[in-house]
Homo-oligomer: A and B are copies of this chain.
Amino acid sequence: MRIAIIGAGALGLYYGALLQRAGNDVRFLLRRDLDEISRRGLTITSPRGDFHLEQVKGYATPAEMGQVELVLVGLKTFANHRLAELTTPLVGENTMVLTLQNGLGNEELLAQIHGPQRVMGGIAFLCCNRGEPGVVHHLDQGRIRLGEFSGGLSQRAQRLAQLFEGAGISCEAVADLIKARWEKLVWNIPFNGLCALTGLTTDQLLNHELMRGEVRALMQEVIAAGNAQELSSPIAEDFADRMLAVTEGMGSYRPSMMIDRQEQRPLELESIYQIPLQRAAARHIAMPRVQLLHTLLSLGEQNLQP
């Protein structure tokens, strides 16, 4: 399959590399790694085995990339104002646009640009960081859950899941993408924000007794808000406990938002906090802790902190 990777951060490079290794024609829109990857290829280090791709198709602009069958969007959501410009040259009659971005609102933006019938969304459970130019460190996990923006379990979603599975990526097609997104927020909202705010890793938060309680309470707020969104079935009772257990298994992990803050990039506040808060408020669900956390994070964005 001809695939374009837009937003080639750690996530885009990792999944793109696996898809190319499985025989797909993968084209990466690159920025800071363009020279290095064009000259020397792409290296993935992983507990599942390191590998190196000698020849990688890197491009500086989407116009050079041509139309593809699948656009995989891994862009940071704070760059969503560039979505139309970056994806339009790639999209033809039968192109599928799959966003693996964080949080809520991304499928809606793509649907406005390309029509809802082209848009799918996926949630990636991936612990992955960039190393030196041309190197990505896969740390743990990598599972994707994907589904139709318009809802329902489609044939093409299942085919896409098979494509990923064939590339060694554990992947499940889901009928209720909204539910999958809210379930991911149950993890993202506490850990991304608290780690970015405090500079502490996930295990440091969980080892602090009071903070572990706050993580759980934040999760419960998100679960209550998610369950007010007319999901196909409620998020499971024990979901917060399962997320806490999964996180413990991840060891000393730095979530993407913590890295963004440490590297003085903007944070994905709109997709991970603002839009979820709006959707909760629309259903008259209060998320007081989420609101305070979002506000504390937003202070840093305005460079108000001394």
A41 at the interface (CB under 8 A from B): no
Binary per-residue interface labels of chain A (212-238) against chain B in the complex, 1 for a CB within 8 Å, 0 otherwise: 011001100100000000000000000
Nearest chain B CB to A225 CB, angstrom units: 13
Q: How far is the CA of A211 from the CA of B292 in the complex (A)?
A: 8
Cβ contact of A288, chosen from B200, B288, B298, cutoff 8 A: B288
A306 at the interface (CB under 8 A from B): yes
Contacts of A298 in B (CB 8 A): 208, 210
Tell me the dominant secondary structure on chain A's binding face.
helix
A245 at the interface (CB under 8 A from B): no
Q: Is the CB of A292 within 8 A of B214?
A: yes
Nearest chain B CB to A200 CB, angstrom units: 6
Binary per-residue interface labels of chain A (77-110) against chain B in the complex, 1 for a CB within 8 Å, 0 otherwise: 0000000000000000000000000000000000
Q: Is the CB of A200 within 8 A of B305?
A: yes
Q: How far is the CA of A291 from the CA of B218 in the complex (A)?
A: 11
Contacts of A218 in B (CB 8 A): 292
Q: How far is the CA of A70 from the CA of B198 in the complex (A)?
A: 44
Cβ contact of A306, chosen from B199, B210, B295, B296, cutoff 8 A: B199
Of the A-B pairs whose beta carbons lie under 8 Å apart in the complex, a sample of 27, sorted by A's number, is A197-B296, A198-B296, A198-B299, A198-B305, A199-B305, A200-B299, A200-B306, A204-B304, A208-B298, A208-B299, A208-B302, A210-B294, A210-B298, A211-B295, A211-B299, A213-B291, A213-B295, A214-B291, A214-B292, A214-B295, A217-B292, A218-B292, A221-B288, A288-B288, A292-B292, A292-B293, A296-B296
Measured CB to CB, the residues of A under 8 A from B are 197-200, 204, 208, 210-211, 213-214, 217-218, 221, 288-289, 291-296, 298-299, 302, 304-306
Beyond the given A211-B295, A213-B295, A217-B288, could you list 5 further A-B residue pairs with CB under 8 A, ordered by the A residue number?
A: A208-B299, A213-B291, A214-B291, A288-B288, A292-B292
